[in-house]
Chain A
């Protein structure tokens, strides 16, 4: 917590970002919070350092040479950083398909009318099924089952593609529910107003309901994507060498686990910005609501 300029004491000025706690704390608050933070981590460090096996752990997990070696890779051993790029790719590709598929499921689930009952049924069954089955089982079933079918090109895709398909299937079920909550949070009077103007049901959904719904669910959506970023590691069970798998290979051949620390740090590094961004959006929404309540 570096306090660059003078910390403004007292309540934060309007227009400033009240989400940033330290400005509102005042000098004394900053002092106390710094002291307690230092104390807390000192105690943890002391406990770790004094543990009987601390020397071994330091060597196995935090050896600088192994940290570096596993990060950049060496002869015959994959680079964890290089492998991590695969995680990023899996994440980016899956994310796009999840956003689309989940939206379709959420919209289908909300179509009224008896004619559409079978579609609604499929949407409900889908979300129930893929929220209930652990991701790793879906990975096995898709990753080994579909190739086993021997169905032309569908069965001869790269392993990582089956991984992406599995992630999309499972996460779409979650994200569809997030969308649905958003759609239901838009008051029915909005739809009524749109329909009264002569807009069709679809136009009302597209121009009036969905834009409001999606805006409201951006924070929970980002939260799900933080989970997705981590779960890309599970794709390794199909044989793809992504970061966690590369770390495992390094650890198994060098008898050193610094590679796991490297992989973990990479995941954290890419997750933190998304988490902070989510926090900011939530804080912004909160401010807006409070401003709206005052008006």
Chain B
């Protein structure tokens, strides 16, 4: 599989009724690459991630993950989702389960991992992210930052080839953002392939190998963060970043 992109999108279109959210997205993510999607709310960042995870069926185009076209007919969506981790803005932990059970549920039920084995690797992950003492807590006992870190661990427990992060810090109080970003940085340093939709421009600049600016369902501009954030070529990108700088967010 060497030389193959981890993720390839070709001419992806997606509409919700009259509203065309993705208007032909072409994007390649290389293995171990971290790509950040930036753009205003409603520009299609979240929809793009949901299409890659097959939560939303696409209207046309194709999505290829590690050489396999996952949007082809007859592909088992569950099998694909097991290889792609997604973390949402709103954590979505299962409130009736302890942290440990939240993490081990999918490995046990979807991968058929042995109970003890699943718990062991869950504890290893929790320890790595400083959450081991929370393993028996229920999610509503945790802070937002802790919940989001557990959600990331839950996705990692499936040993995904690719992680999709959808505005994972947007629902957090400002003082809790850093702990979540630190986790993502660690993943990046370990070579996890990630596609990250974010409003945290400073974070995108730090972590991304490449930044894509989305506007009205198109990728208008992409490139290394140093260039996108300092010398954007596209007028819309300049306007968007101008507003961000005005708001003091960069």
Contact = CB atoms under 8 A, between A and B. Distances in A.
A203 B110 contact: yes
B155 A197 contact: yes
A171 B93 CA distance: 34
A114 to B, nearest CB: 15
A270 B158 CA distance: 50
B161 interface: no
Given A189-B88, A189-B90, A192-B55, A199 B96 contact: no
A196 B96 contact: no
Nearest to A203: B109
A208 B94 contact: yes
A196 B81 CA distance: 6
Contact of A196 (B53, B90, B105, B111): B53
A198 B79 contact: yes
A66 to B, nearest CB: 52
Contact of B105 (A192, A199, A215, A292): A199
Contacts of A196: 53, 55, 81, 86, 88, 155
Contacts of A192: 55, 88, 92
A195 B81 contact: yes
A287 B96 CA distance: 16
A199 B79 CA distance: 9
Contacts, number: 62
A200 interface: yes
A110 interface: no
A8 interface: no
Given A195-B78, A197-B154, A199-B78, 20 more contacts: A189-B90, A190-B94, A192-B55, A193-B88, A196-B81, A196-B88, A197-B82, A197-B155, A197-B158, A198-B78, A198-B82, A198-B110, A200-B78, A203-B109, A203-B110, A207-B94, A207-B109, A212-B96, A292-B140, A295-B141
Interface of B: 53, 55, 78-79, 81-83, 86, 88, 90, 92-96, 105-106, 109-111, 140-141, 154-155, 158
Question: 8 tightest A-B contacts by CB?
Answer: A198-B82, A193-B92, A197-B106, A198-B110, A198-B81, A196-B86, A189-B92, A203-B109
